[in-house]
Amino acid sequence: MIRYLIARILSAIPVIGVVTIVVFGLTYLGPGDAASLMAGDYASPADIAALRVKLHLDDPIITQYIYWLGNVLKGDFGHSIFSQQPVLALILSRVEPTITLAIAATLVAVVVAVPLGLLAAHNKGGIADQVVSLFGVAGTAIPAFLIGYLLIFAFGVYYGSMPIAGFAGIESGLLEMAKHVLLPAIMLGFAQTALISRITRASAIEALNQDFVRVARAKGLDEITIMIWHCLKPIAVPVITIVGTSFAHMLGGVVITETVFAIPGIGSLLVEAIQHKDIPVIQGVLLLSSLVYVLVNLLVDLSYLIVDPRIKYT
């Protein structure tokens, strides 16, 4: 177990190295001059030239990358061009809404998708199976922003029962926070619900054809007991894999959802940074999002030991 963990961490280092190269290249090799953007509209040519020297922008691209990476390893992501705040502090100030929204959307997806997938598998070829399959196709085909606007119109405009913009933190109380998070979580989790239900259905159909299920039925166990106690464990690994991947993607920046519902999270921060060509913030968000994705994938791999003791890491 320990050897596997060390091996996975070591294998993640080259991946992170490639990520840093891509993030640095996408921003510094893009159009526009970083020094001119950072100096502002009223800076003189001399100020811009001095800033270029300070930021090593006149050095070869390899030297620039090494200088930037060295600062990142020390926890210095630079300062925002637009707000002049440290990038790391700016990102951390936007973390709570994104984490809350990602957790809520994941809970919505799992609570709805797993029972739907099991129901479809139990009624393979029946009406329930066809409805769930149709929902799975619709969930991946319908744009997320359309779901968001329909929710806003229905519960925010027509009924007027739910807030449709902003975010309420934990200090506002759980009920108020839940009201602000519910609609965005449904929008964000809609596509994931469809995907998880399809994965659950396929895995459950395979599990229901195994010998241990036939033995359980021969013993006279009812179908609910079989589905919960004998079917959930074999399908846990693929379901956890897709749930973990979806959660990591959400934490990386739920751009569309946060934009539609005006939530001040990581996604909206990235949109603002792109609009203002705020290179340090763009780099910080992309890099930290990639690191979170790698970390969540590692935790998902290690969770297999808990859900399936037959798995042994060597």
Q: How open is the CA angle 12-17-23, to the nearest 5 degrees?
A: 125
CB atoms within 10 A of CB 47: 14
Mean pLDDT score across all residues of the chain: 81
* Chain segment 108-117, per-residue pLDDT in tens: 888 998 888 8
The most confident of the ranges 25-34, 55-64, 238-247 is: 238-247
pLDDT at 313: 60
Please report where in the chains the tokens 């177990």 appear, as a residue: 1
Helix (H, G, I), strand (E, B) or coil at 65: helix
C-alpha dihedral, 128 to 201 to 103 to 138, nearest 10°? -60
Residue 257: is its pLDDT beyond 70? yes
- Which residues are registered as beta bridge partners of 79? 86
Residue 253: is its pLDDT beyond 60? no
Low-confidence winner among 85-94, 211-220, 259-268, 305-314 (lowest mean pLDDT) = 305-314
Cβ neighbours of residue 103 closer than 8 Å, sequence gap 6 or more:
247
Mean pLDDT over residues 93-104, rounded?
88
Q: Work out the pLDDT band at 282, boundaries 50, 70, 90.
A: confident
Mean pLDDT over residues 6-24, rounded?
83
The most confident of the ranges 90-94, 136-140, 173-177 is: 90-94
Is the pLDDT higher at 123 or at 31? 123
Q: Work out the pLDDT band at 30, boundaries 50, 70, 90.
A: low
For residues 150 and 167, what is the distance between their CA atoms, to the nearest angstrom? 19
* Chain segment 121-160, per-residue pLDDT in tens: 888 878 888 888 888 888 888 888 888 888 888 887 877 7
Q: Which sequence spans correspond to the domains of the chain?
A: 2-87, 95-307
pTM of the model: 0.81
* Chain segment 187-222, per-residue pLDDT in tens: 888 888 888 888 888 888 888 787 777 887 787 777
pLDDT > 70 in the chain, percent: 90
Please report where in the chains the tokens 């393979």 appear, as a residue: 124
Helix, strand, coil percentages in the chain from 3-state DSSP, rounded to 5 = 75, 0, 25
Which pairs with CB-CB distance under 8 Å and at least 24 residues apart come from 148-156? 148/183, 148/184, 148/187, 148/256, 148/257, 148/260, 148/261, 149/260, 151/183, 151/186, 151/187, 152/183, 152/260, 152/261, 155/183, 156/183
Residue 309: is its pLDDT beyond 70? no
For residues 103 and 95, what is the distance between their CA atoms, to the nearest angstrom? 12
Give one word for 100, left, alpha or beta, with left for phi > 0 and alpha for psi -120 to 50.
alpha
Backbone angles phi, psi at 86, to 5 degrees: -60, 135
Q: Which CATH superfamily is domain 95-307 in?
A: MetI-like (1.10.3720.10)
pLDDT > 90 in the chain, percent: 0
Residue 55: is its pLDDT beyond 60? yes
Q: Work out the pLDDT band at 44, boundaries 50, 70, 90.
A: confident
For residues 239 and 249, what is the distance between their CA atoms, to the nearest angstrom? 15
